[in-house]
Structure 1
Amino acid sequence: MNPVSHQKSVLRRQMRSLRLALAAADSRAASRAAAHAPLARLGAGPVAGYFAQGAELDPGPLMAALAEAGAALALPVAADREAPLTFRAWTPGAALSPDAFGIPAPLADQPQVSPTALIVPLLAFDRRGGRLGQGAGVYDRAIAALGADHRPFLLGYAYAGQEVEDLPLEPHDQRLDAILTEAGLIEVR
Structure 2
Amino acid sequence: MTDKHELRAAMRATRKRLAGLDPEAAARAAGHAADLPPGEVVAVYRAIGSELDAGPLALALARAGRTLCLPVVIERDAPMVFRRWSPGEPLELDEAGVPAPFPLAATVTPDLIVTPLLAFDARGGRLGQGGGYYDRTFAALPEVIRIGLAYAGQEQDNLPLESHDIRLHGVLTERGYRGAA
- State the TM-score, normalizing by the size of structure 2: 0.95
Relative distance call for 1:20 and 1:67 in structure 2 (3 A) is: same
Query: Residue deviations 1:106-161, cap 9 Å, x none?
Result: 10011111100000000000000000000000000011122x3xx21111000000
Task: Determine the C-alpha separation between the residues in 2 that align with 1:169 and 1:38.
Answer: 30
Q: Does the residue aligned with 1:41 lie in a helix, a strand or coil?
A: coil
Q: Match for 2:5: what amino acid?
A: S
Q: Report the Cα offset of residue 39 of structure 1.
A: 5.0
Q: Report the Cα offset of residue 42 of structure 1.
A: 3.3
Within 5 Å, give how 1:12-161 maps onto structure 2.
12-38=8-34, 41-43=37-39, 45-146=40-141, 148=142, 151-161=143-153
Q: Report the Cα offset of residue 36 of structure 1.
A: 1.7
Contact 1:39 1:69 in 2 (8 A): no
2:7 to 4, 11, 22: 11
Q: Match for 1:165: what amino acid?
A: D
Task: Determine the C-alpha separation between the residues in 2 that align with 1:54 and 1:157.
Answer: 14
Contact 1:56 1:122 in 2 (8 A): yes
Contact 1:42 1:153 in 2 (8 A): no
Structure 1: gaps spanning 5 or more residues: none
Q: Report the Cα offset of residue 185 of structure 1.
A: 1.5
Q: Does the residue aligned with 1:73 lie in a helix, a strand or coil?
A: strand
Residue in structure 2 matched with residue 170 of structure 1 by the alignment: 162
Q: Match for 2:105: what amino acid?
A: Q
2:177 to 163, 182, 185: 185
CA RMSD of aligned residues (A): 1.4
Q: Report the Cα offset of residue 80 of structure 1.
A: 2.6
Query: Residue deviations 1:9-36, cap 9 Å, x none?
Result: 1100000000000001110000001112
Structure 2: gaps spanning 5 or more residues: none
* Greater fraction helix: 1
Q: Which 4+ stretches in 1 moved above 3 angstroms?
A: none
Task: Determine the C-alpha separation between the residues in 1 that align with 2:7 and 2:17.
Answer: 15
